[in-house]
Chain A
Amino acid sequence: MGRLKIDLVNCTGCRMCEIWCSVIHEHAVNPKKSRIRVVLNGLPEQPVPVVCQQCKNASCADACPLKAISYHEKSGAWVVDEKRCNGCGLCVEACPFGAITLHPERNVAIKCDLCGGNPQCVAYCQRNFLTYSPGGERVKELNELAEQKREAFAAKKLGRMLASWGIQSED
C-alpha cells in the first residue's frame, strides 16, 4: 500500500493538490471531480485534505460486486477500472473516509490512483506538506513508527512504576 501523508499542522489550505488533481484527471478545474478534497473547517478555516488511505484490506474493493477495484502493485494504489464500474456506489458507502465518490457526470466511481506512482498533488504541494511513500517503503516506515511508539509507551509505563516506588527516572 502506497500512501499520501499529510502534514495537517502546517497545511495552509491553498488547495493546489485538489486543483491539480482535477486538471490532471479531468482537464478542468473542478474540486467536485478531484480525488483529493480539502475540507475547510470553521473560521479562520482549518484545512483538512482528505484522500484515499490505500488500506491493506480495502473495504471499497471488498464491497464492489463487479471486482472493478483492484490493487496496482507498482504505485501501491487501489484503482477503479472504469470499464467494469457501473456506478452502483457500494464502494462509496463502504469507504470509512469519504475518499471515494461518484463522478458527477460519468456514471463511475472516482478515487485516488496515486497517478500511477507519481502523484501530482504531491508534485504541486509547494511546501512538501503532502508526501508519498510507495508500498515497500511504507511497511518499513510504519514499523519504525510502531517501534518508536512502543518504546515511548514502555518508558512512560516504567517511569510511572518507578515513581510509585519513589524512584526518579533519569530523564
Chain B
Amino acid sequence: MSFVYGGYAGKILRVNLTSGDIKKEELDQQMASKFLGGNGLAAHFLYHELAPGIDPLGPENKVLIFTGPVAGTILPLCSRVGVFSKSPLTGLFFDSYAGGNFAPELKFAGYDGIIIEGEAKSPVYLWIDDDNVSLRPAESIWGRYTYATQNAIKKDLGDESIQVGCIGPAGEKLSRIAGVFFGVRAAGRGGLGAVLGAKKLKAIAVRGSKDITVSDLNGLIKLTGEILEIIRKHPVAGKSYYEYGTTPNMASNNMAGILGTRNWQVEEFEGTSRIDGDAMRQKTLIKSKACYNCPMMCGKLCLVKDGPYKGALTEGPEYETLFSLGSLCGIDSLEAITLGDRLCDELGFDSISAGAAIAFAMECFEKGIVNRNDTDGLELNFGNHEAMIALLEKMAKREGLGDILAEGTARAAIRLGAESLAIHMRGLEPAGHSARGLKGMGLGYAVSTRGGSHHDPRPKGEYSGQIDRRTPSGKGEYVAKINNMTALEDSMIMCHMAENFLGFFDLTEMHVKAINSVTGIGYDLNDVRKLGERVWNLERAFNVREGVRRENDTLPNRFLTEPIPSGPSQGLYITPEVLEKMKDDYYQIRGWDLKTGIPKEAKLRELGLEDVIMDLWG
C-alpha cells in the first residue's frame, strides 16, 4: 500500500449519481492523522460538504460509506463499516454501523471509503471490482427484499464471494426508519436507507484482491495475541457472547426492573423468560455466527422449529430486537420475534425503531387514539404478535397506519396527536437501555449527537455496578468520557463490544497500541482522547449549525414526568431539574456554553477546529 500510514488503502471513491462521474481521490495525510477514519473522517467531510438546512432526502445530501485504518487487519473486532449522512429521521448528523464482511472487502478493493452524491434518474447499483468501478442498472431488483437483492447481484456478477450492502423496500419507499444492510448485518439506525432510496441507489457491491498491510506487523501480532488471550479467559467476551450473544440483557434488565415494556409504560415484563437467552438456546438456536475476524461470535443463527412461524430463519434476534419487538410490544412469542427480526432485515427496517413505532401505535390503540378503522381491522393490543407482523408489512408497503408509522414515532405522533406517548430523542427511538433507570444513559441520550442511540453513551458501566446508576452525580464526566471513547472507536472502526475487556468508560493504552501498530502515526493516550473529543465536537458543531441548542438536549415527556411505576427500580426517573443539573456538569466538562450548549471558541481552538469557530460564533 502506498499510503504513508499503515492500514489505510489511501483512496476515497467519489460517486456522483446525477452525472455518473466516478472519481478516485487521494486520502489527505493530515486529515487521516487528525480524524483517523470512519466517524472522524465522515464528520469532517459532511461538515464541510453539506450546506446547513438541506433536505436529507434531496440530491444535495450525501451518503458516506467508510471503513477505518484497522478494518481488515488482524486486529479482532474490526470488521465494521459505517454509513454517514444527514438523517431524515433527526435532520442531524448521523452515523450507523454494521459488522459482517463488507468493510474488509472494501479495503481489499483499495478504498477507505465511498462518498455518494446526487441522485440517479432510475435505480442503479454501484459495482466496485478493485480499480474498475461502474454504475449498473437496478430496475430489475428494485422492490426486492434485501436477501434476494444481494443474491441477485452476486448471480448477476457471477461470484458468490462478492460483498453487498443494500436497501430493502422500506428504504426505497423513503421510510425514515429504513436502514442499510450488509449481508445479514444492519447499519439500521437513523433512516439512512431512505437517503439511499431517495438517491435510487439500491446497492453497493464490492470485490477486492489487494493486500492490507500495517506499519508494525510483529508488534500487531504480539498485541493481537494478548487481546485474544484476554478474550479467551474473559467470562463474557470469551464465553457468554459465544453461547448467548447479547440476549442475557433481557433477564438481567428485567430483574433490575429496567426493561422497556409496553412502550415504556412499565419497565418489567412478565413474559421475559419466554423470550430470553435461555429460551433462545432451548427453542431456536442452531449455532453461533461471527463477523469477520471476531473471536467473540455474538451472532446467533436461529430457526423456528414448529408452530405458525415454523421455518423462520434469521441471524438474531439479539437483545435490542428481543426488546423492541418483544417486551416493548408486550410480545412473549420468541417465534414471532424471530420472524419479525428476519422481516425487518428483509424489508429493510431498523428493528429498534420499527418495534418502537409499533409499540407506540399499540399504546395509541389501547388509549383509543387510533381504532380498528385506522388499523384496517388489526386488534393492535400489546402482546398481539400477529398484528405486529402484519403491521411491519403494512409499514413496508406504506399502507394505512403503516404509512404513518414508517415515518418514525416522532412524526407519527404529531400526525396522530399523541405526542405525549412518543418516546424518542431528537426523533430517534431509544434502544433497550433505560433512561429512567440509568441516570448516565438518561443524560447520554439527551446530549447525544444521534438522539436515542446506545452507541454514543454506553450502558455497561452502570449495568456492571461500577458506576451508581441511581445518582446523577458525576454523570457529566462519565458520559463525556464514553462519548470520546465511542467516537474514537467509531473512527478506527472497532466494535464497542471491546468494552467488555478494555473497560467500560475510557480509552486505554490498548487502543493506542492498536492504532499505532496499524498506522505508525505514533499517538499517545492524550492524543487519542483528544481525537475522540474532536470528532464529538465536530458532530455537535454540525448539529448546532442545524439549530440544536441546550433546550433540544432533552428526554421524552414520560421519562421526565412519570417515575417507573413498579418493580425493583420503582420511583426512578429524571426530573427536568436533575436533567438540567447533569447537563450543566456535562457542558462544563465539555467546554460548551452553559446557556446555549454551543462548543466555546477556546475548546474548538484547542481541538484544532478553528474553521468551525466562524460558523458557530460569527
Contact = CB atoms under 8 A, between A and B. Distances in A.
A19 B217 contact: no
Given A23-B217, A44-B314, A45-B184, A13 B290 contact: yes
A163 interface: no
A67 B183 CA distance: 43
Interface string B490-520: 0000000000000000000000000000000
B557 to A, nearest CB: 39
Contact of B291 (A14, A19, A39): A14
A44 B313 contact: yes
Contact of B294 (A14, A23, A27, A43): A14
Contacts, number: 84
B43 to A, nearest CB: 27
Contacts of B183: 43-45
B244 interface: no
B467 to A, nearest CB: 30
Given A10-B287, A39-B160, A31 B184 contact: no
A15 interface: yes
A40 B150 CA distance: 13
Interface in A109-155: 124, 126-127
Given A23-B221, A27-B217, A104 B209 contact: yes
B375 interface: no
Nearest to B291: A14
B290 A40 contact: no
A99 B511 CA distance: 37
B292 interface: yes
Interface in B412-434: none
Interface string A30-43: 11110000011111
B49 interface: no
B228 A44 contact: no
B161 interface: yes
Interface string A6-19: 00011011111001
B290 A12 contact: yes
B128 to A, nearest CB: 15
Given A23-B217, A30-B108, A127-B242, A43 B184 contact: yes
Main secondary structure of the interface of A (DSSP, over half): loop
Contacts of B274: none
B212 interface: yes
Given A10-B287, A27-B213, A19 B293 contact: yes
A134 B314 CA distance: 38
Contacts of A40: 101, 160-161
A20 interface: yes
A73 interface: no
Interface stretch (B84-92, B295-303, B355-363, B444-452): B295-303
Contacts of B295: 14, 16, 126
A126 B293 contact: no
Interface string A85-100: 0000000000000000
Interface residues of B, number: 39
Contacts of B290: 12-15
Contacts of B5: none
Contacts of A33: 211
Nearest to A28: B211
B161 A43 contact: no
Interface string B274-317: 00000000000001111111110101010000000000011100
Nearest to A32: B209
Given A23-B74, A30-B212, A31-B108, A12 B160 contact: no
B379 to A, nearest CB: 32
Contacts of A30: 108, 209-212
Interface string B176-212: 0000000110000000000000000000000001111
B147 interface: yes
A12 B288 contact: yes
Given A44-B289, A45-B183, A45-B184, A39 B74 contact: no
Nearest to A42: B151
B317 to A, nearest CB: 13
Contacts of A20: 74
A20 B76 CA distance: 11
Given A40-B161, A43-B150, A127-B242, A12 B287 contact: yes
Contact of B74 (A10, A12, A29, A44): A29
A40 B183 CA distance: 10
A120 to B, nearest CB: 11
B461 interface: no
A31 B210 CA distance: 9
Most B-side CB within 10 Å, residue of A33, A39, A43: A43
Interface in B53-92: 72-74, 76
B160 A41 contact: yes
A29 B73 contact: yes
A29 B289 contact: no
A9 B147 contact: no
Nearest to B147: A43
A14 B297 contact: yes
A127 B296 CA distance: 10
B581 interface: no
Contacts of A41: 160
Contacts of B150: 43
A130 to B, nearest CB: 13
A15 B101 CA distance: 10
Contacts of A19: 74, 293
A82 B164 CA distance: 36
B234 interface: no
Contacts of A31: 108
A124 to B, nearest CB: 8
Given A40-B161, A43-B184, A15 B292 contact: yes
B228 A126 contact: yes
Contacts of B210: 30
B287 A28 contact: no
Nearest to A41: B160
Given A29-B73, A43-B150, A44-B184, A14 B293 contact: yes
Nearest to B298: A12
Looking at A9, A19, A41, the one whose CB has the most chain B CB atoms below 10 A away is A19
23 contacts: A10-B288, A12-B289, A12-B297, A12-B299, A13-B290, A14-B290, A14-B291, A14-B292, A14-B295, A15-B293, A19-B293, A23-B74, A23-B221, A29-B73, A31-B108, A32-B209, A33-B211, A43-B147, A43-B183, A44-B183, A44-B289, A44-B313, A45-B183
Given A14-B292, A14-B294, 18 more contacts: A10-B287, A13-B290, A14-B290, A23-B74, A28-B213, A29-B211, A29-B212, A30-B209, A30-B211, A31-B108, A39-B161, A40-B161, A41-B160, A44-B183, A45-B183, A45-B289, A124-B228, A126-B297
The 10 A-B pairs with the shortest beta carbon distances in the complex, nearest first, are: A14-B290, A28-B211, A12-B290, A44-B315, A126-B295, A29-B212, A43-B147, A44-B184, A12-B297, A32-B209
